[in-house]
Amino acid sequence: MEFAPALFSTKVSAGRRTYFFDVKAAKNAKPFLKITQSEINGEEKKKSYLNIFESEISGFGSAVREAVAFVNQTKKEA
């Protein structure tokens, strides 16, 4: 099975977890965002995937920004 190469890739390391953000091209050549969470717990390795397609990316980005703003505001109030 061939995998599409990433057009863009970055990662965030957070302790036992690593998050990969890869922009790839779908079969129809349209870009999509693939978010992978990789977690190591002892000997167990676990991966979770989330694909956000071009038609959903704007709404997804808005929701993430809104959630981050809420978390940041909550931290200031604590």
Share of the chain above pLDDT 90, in %: 82
Q: Residue 2 domain-assigned? A: no
Domain with 25 in it = 8-77
pLDDT of 1 reads 45
Read off the pLDDT of each residue in 11-28 and give the average, rounded to a whole number: 95
**Domain count across the chain:** 1
* pLDDT band for position 77 (cuts 50, 70, 90): confident
Q: Residue 45 domain-assigned? A: yes
Antiparallel, parallel or unpaired: β 31-41 and 8-14 = unpaired
Average pLDDT value over all residues in the chain: 92
Read off the pLDDT of each residue in 53-71 and give the average, rounded to a whole number: 96
Q: Residue 1 domain-assigned? A: no
Alpha-carbon dihedral 57, 58, 62, 67, rounded to 10 degrees: -10
| CATH number for position 47 | 3.10.450.700
Q: Residue 40 domain-assigned? A: yes
Global pTM reads: 0.84
